[in-house]
Structure 1
Amino acid sequence: MERITDMEGGRFRARAARAAVIGALIALVAACAPIVTRHGYVPTDEDLQDIVVGVDTRESVASAVGRPSAAGILSDSGWYYVESRFETRGWREPREVDRQVVAISFDDSGVVTNIERFGLERGRVVVLSRRVTDSNVKGIGFLQQLMGNIGRVTADQLVGD
């Protein structure tokens, strides 16, 4: 039976201590990496190119890009596709870093009148792209409500009760 000398035992403890410090540093760096989650769905620009303003109807839009989870509040005048991206860093609560809304408006006969994409820049709603046949999206108050909630989302609202 061979005995470990004090010198060899000291080297072993030093190596173990170094390994523990390196492991702790790796865990610390990994904990700082953001966790990114996405909520909702927004059709891509390529998908929206298939929709012709003034020609397509609710049914053809539904087959091209699917039905949204949010529809126009007043007389079903539009469909709203909403996607949000949240980042969580360490113990901090999730923070919304991006939100996009695609609004597709219809006339009374169900024909597409507007297709607009909205995003956020410095906390303000901006139009990213627009294909319209009239001056404005009906129900812009609804869009402003959707886009205006940035920064007001808390962790308990995301997780639920």
Structure 2
Amino acid sequence: MVQFPKNTGFPALKAAVAVLALPALLGGCTSITDRRGYVADPVLTGAITPGLDNRESVRGTLGQPSFTSQFGDPVYYYVASTTEQRVFGQPQIEVHQVIKVAFDPSGTVNSVTFAGKDDVRDINPDGDKTPTLGRHRGFLQDLFGNIGAVGAAGAAPVGGPNGS
């Protein structure tokens, strides 16, 4: 066994190890920031003028939209989100921004609106089943329901391909 003489700097070694270990321990207390989506530039978004710009000029200025509307008048959506996650925690949305550029049927910009985190709605589905129209059939009815239906009335005519 090695014996250290007293007062030879061994406490200084402990202090040095503690100083080096402290940043590593505190590094686990930081949060992870994640940015996703469109990086908005206030100068560019402010340059979009309703009544003057069209779809092509908006794409040229702001770039490809995050997504577009599927129904009704055409709308471009530019979505950005910033989340933070603490150690062993769930990610929390810190910043959420949506830029909505609406067009009239001719393709001219109708309006430019901005939405933030306060405009986000929390949707809680009711139950774990989705109601559907139609018959309610069980597993066995689905499995054996088509037996005898193949070749039933309305199938191919009897005889050759020319009906003879």
8 Å CA contact 2:69–2:75 kept in 1: the answer is: yes
Matched, 1:99 2:71: no
Equivalent residue number for residue 7 of structure 1: 6
Q: CA deviation at 1:108?
A: 0.7
Cα distance change on mapping 1:27 and 1:5 into 2, 3 Å: closer
Equivalent residue number for residue 31 of structure 1: 28
Which structure shows the bigger proportion of residues in strand conformation?
A: 1
The number of residue pairs the alignment matches comes to: 122
Equivalent of residue 61 in structure 1, options 50, 55, 58: 58
CA distance in 2, matches of 1:32, 1:20: 20
Q: How does 1:83-98 map to 2 (within 5 A)?
A: 83-98=80-95
8 Å CA contact 2:73–2:105 kept in 1: the answer is: no
Whichever residue aligns with residue 6 of structure 2, its letter is M
**What are the superposed Cα offsets for residues 80-104 of structure 1, whole Å, 9 maximum, x if unpaired?**
0000001122232322111000000
TM-score (norm 1): 0.66
CA distance in 1, matches of 2:82, 2:75: 23
Equivalent of residue 148 in structure 1, options 115, 118, 121: 121
Equivalent residue number for residue 18 of structure 2: 21
Determine helix, strand or coil for the equivalent of 2:76. Answer: strand
CA distance in 2, matches of 1:28, 1:5: 29
Superposition RMSD on alpha carbons, in Å? 2.4
8 Å CA contact 1:42–1:102 kept in 2: the answer is: no
Determine helix, strand or coil for the equivalent of 2:52. Answer: coil
8 Å CA contact 1:37–1:86 kept in 2: the answer is: yes
Q: How does 1:99-118 map to 2 (within 5 A)?
A: 99-118=96-115
Q: Which runs of 5+ in 2 are unaligned?
A: 124-164
8 Å CA contact 2:83–2:95 kept in 1: the answer is: yes
TM-score (norm 2): 0.65
Q: Which runs of 5+ in 1 are unaligned?
A: 126-146, 151-161
Determine helix, strand or coil for the equivalent of 1:43. Answer: coil
Q: Which structure: larger Rg?
A: 2
Q: CA deviation at 1:5?
A: 5.6
Equivalent of residue 49 in structure 1, options 41, 46, 49: 46
Whichever residue aligns with residue 148 of structure 1, its letter is R
